[in-house]
Structure 1
Amino acid sequence: MAYAARSLRTTAVFAAVSLGIMALAACEADSGEDTAAPSATASPSAAGPDEGSSTPSTAGPSDGGASDESSSGSGGGTASPSDAGSDDQDGGVGMCETTDLTYVVTVASKPVNHALLTAVNKGSDPCLLPANELVLTIAELDGAAGHMGPDGKDWILEAGQSAYAGILFSHADTPGGKSADKVEIALTAAESPTTVPVGHGPVTVNDMEVTSFFGSAEDALTY
């Protein structure tokens, strides 16, 4: 009986010891998990500065937003005003009318039977001169002068600027003709003519012709 009692006590002691060891192991396991947790949460905090520093450095150069916008803005700003200025200038100049100009017709020393027509813009503003529509008539003769020389191009006649046309009153190989000491001039057929005396006239007129307007007297008397 004494042996059996000792055996039970020994078993109880072993059981208690085993329970204590298991409890201690469980505590160590819990403490291990608790200490591991901070290291797991520390890794995102370490990664945070890396992400924060790499994001601005990558976005800034690749976007280049400020420099692109400023360069495109300056290009558009300098281009559009220049285009707009030329359009406004052309659109603001009206056609020259017959009454906008003063006229002088003078017989030329050469070529023979020629006269020079000088037209001056007497206004304070420029106007667009119709180069090829000049109408020249003599009151005592039927019909208007024919055209000679090349066609010109309409051009802006500034205030006070002169334009020139050459007049051929008669061909040397054409007999006859009528004497005249004045001509009638209109810039277009739709306008009423103005009468201009012929300086150093009178002249004999037959098969009269006139050039387009030119910028120099020499060009006008070439034909």
Structure 2
Amino acid sequence: MRTFRHARLLAAAGATLATLALTACENGTGTQDEGASKPTASTTTQQPSNGEQPAGSTETKQPSSGTEQSGRTDEPAASDVAICNGSNTKVTAQPVSRPLNHMLLTVTNTGAKPCSLMYYPVLRFDEMQWVPQAMADSKPQAVPTLDPGASGYAGVLLSAADGSGEGGMTGKKLTVAFQGTTPNSSGGASATPALPAKGMYYDSTLSVTYWQSEAEDALAY
């Protein structure tokens, strides 16, 4: 008798649970725990994967280098630099007492923007049919660039101090040609600096330095 009553109680409980489940499915709410807190809306803003700031953001993006760039950099842009030549410079040629048998070429930028002295000057006395060689060990680490009003220099060995040179003669006119961005290319107009009235004596050892930023460097060879 007790067993039969227990079985009836279990059957009734099962029927009650089935009724509750059916009611939950019909109203679309499903089974919810009593007292469970409702989830709150998230306030986190998802950052775009491409690194752009979301609309309304006040965050300022810092430069990757950690410092802001302002004004003009130390080196001018290539488009702002001309090639030094006879049209934008003044060229002088002066004999010096030391070293012996040397001449100093000075080129002063008379233009409105910086110019670069490429390689070395190409010299020609009068109607000379050969080109003096450049002193290879005088090549600077960087091309001298002259701001307006600044000067560059080249040293010229006119003749051998020991008399070992050949074909010595006196030049009355000097032409200084400028090179372009590639060796032996034309850099533009030549210059004809004035020489002393007696002219300049030279021989087969005539040679020239690369353009330098300092006169002392030009006369060190």
TM-score by length of 2: 0.64
Correspondences of 1:95-106 after superposition (within 5 Å) = 95-106=83-94
Correspondences of 1:139-218 after superposition (within 5 Å) = 139-148=126-135, 149-152=137-140, 153-172=142-161, 173-175=164-166, 177-188=168-179, 190=186, 191-199=188-196, 201-207=198-204, 208-218=206-216
Unaligned runs of 5+ in 2: 1-15, 180-184
CA RMSD of aligned residues (A): 4.1
Unaligned runs of 5+ in 1: 1-28
1: CA distance between counterparts of 2:101 and 2:32? 108
What is the identity, as a one-letter code, of the residue corresponding to 1:109? S
Is residue 106–residue 200 contact of structure 1 (8 Å, CA) maintained in 2?
no
SS at match of 1:212: coil
Shift in CA distance, 192/43, structure 1 to aligned 2, threshold 3 Å: closer
- Give the % identical residues: 24
Is residue 107–residue 201 contact of structure 1 (8 Å, CA) maintained in 2?
no
User: Aligned-pair distance for 1:78?
Assistant: 7.3
Is residue 82–residue 113 contact of structure 2 (8 Å, CA) maintained in 1?
no
Larger radius of gyration: 1
Shift in CA distance, 64/95, structure 1 to aligned 2, threshold 3 Å: same
1: CA distance between counterparts of 2:32 and 2:200? 112
Structure 2 equivalent of residue 219 of structure 1 = 217
Deviations 1:68-118 (A, max 9, x none): 857783235978967x97897233323223321111111001111001100
Moved over 6 A (4+): 77-82, 84-88
